[in-house]
């Protein structure tokens, strides 16, 4: 079975409690879940990308630059 060349991306808009509950539920269905408390450049640089993690994080305000960086993180390499 070949892996996908592009990782799916999903943005959930919810209140704090409901959003956290959804992320924790999704964690149970991911192969290598990695829950981050924030998504910034320094956090993403410390990720072990060879393990192909499923990034799960909560961010109340995602700026355009961060959305672009996360979009780039969905592709292989």
pLDDT of 28 reads 92
pLDDT tens column, 30-55: 888 888 877 777 877 888 878 778 88
Report whether pLDDT(1) > 50: no
pTM over 0.75: no
pLDDT tens per residue across span 8-20: 677 777 788 888 8
| Alpha carbon distances (Å) from 52 to 5, 11, 14, 31, 49 | 12, 19, 26, 9, 5
Q: Name the residue ranges covered by the structural domains of the chain.
A: 16-72
Task: Provide the pLDDT confidence category of residue 75 given band limits of 50, 70 and 90.
Answer: low
């Amino acid at each position: 079975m070949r892996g996908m060349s592009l990782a799916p991306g999903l943005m959930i808009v919810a209140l704090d409690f409901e959003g956290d509950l959804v992320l924790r539920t999704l964690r149970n269905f991911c192969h290598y879940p990695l829950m981050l408390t924030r998504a910034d450049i320094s956090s993403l640089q410390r990720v072990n990308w060879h393990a192909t993690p499923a990034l799960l994080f909560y961010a109340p305000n995602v700026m355009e630059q961060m959305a672009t960086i996360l979009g780039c993180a969905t592709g292989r390499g």
